[in-house]
């Protein structure tokens, strides 16, 4: 982009910080907002696996916890009750925590990811082998 054209654009967007040459190559995918959009912080605990994400619509941080029963079900290649399967993605059907937003926060969990979390929980003695087996039996031995 020429310097002259850039200065005309900056007249209208004077409050927007100037992008570096590296950021400029990525267009709308550049900048600090992108870091929040694509960044997910994951923690495991007694309740399950919690994903801290930012809503794609309003930007509000949300925490989505997938309990251990749901992790076992997903790890078995099935969708827990209330989850959605859309465009090859499996995710809990949960709206944004901002009462005015209502956008679906899509935390995608793959079967292999869920199985890794369950195996780690078994090794850490967060869940018992009996708990996992009882859920798998209910699913028909998967």
Q: What is the mean pLDDT of the chain?
A: 78
Nearest to 64 by CA among 41, 80, 81, 90: 41
Structure tokens at 43: 């923690």
Reported pTM: 0.69
Nearest to 57 by CA among 111, 6, 101, 114: 101
- Residue 117 pLDDT greater than 70, yes or no: yes
Q: So where are the chain's domains?
A: 1-30, 40-138
| pLDDT at 16 (0 to 100) | 55
Rounded-to-integer distance, Cα 40 and Cα 37, Å? 8
pLDDT bucket at 2, cuts 50 / 70 / 90: very low
Phi-psi region at 44: left, alpha or beta (left = phi > 0; alpha = psi -120 to 50): beta
8 A C-beta contact, residue 70 and residue 104? no
8 A C-beta contact, residue 76 and residue 90? no
């Amino acid at each position: 982009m020429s310097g002259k054209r850039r200065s005309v654009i900056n007249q209208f967007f004077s409050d927007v910080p100037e992008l570096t040459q590296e950021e400029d190559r990525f267009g709308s995918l550049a900048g600090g907002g992108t870091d929040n959009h694509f960044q997910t912080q994951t923690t495991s605990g007694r309740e399950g696996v919690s994903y801290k994400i930012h809503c794609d619509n309003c930007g509000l941080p949300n925490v989505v916890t997938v309990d251990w029963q749901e992790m076992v079900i997903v790890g078995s290649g099935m969708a827990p009750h209330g989850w959605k399967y859309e465009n090859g993605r499996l995710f809990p059907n949960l709206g944004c925590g901002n009462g005015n937003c209502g956008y679906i926060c899509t935390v995608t969990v793959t079967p292999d990811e869920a199985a890794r979390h369950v195996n780690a929980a078994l090794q850490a003695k967060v869940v018992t082998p009996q708990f996992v087996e009882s859920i798998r039996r209910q699913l028909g031995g998967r």
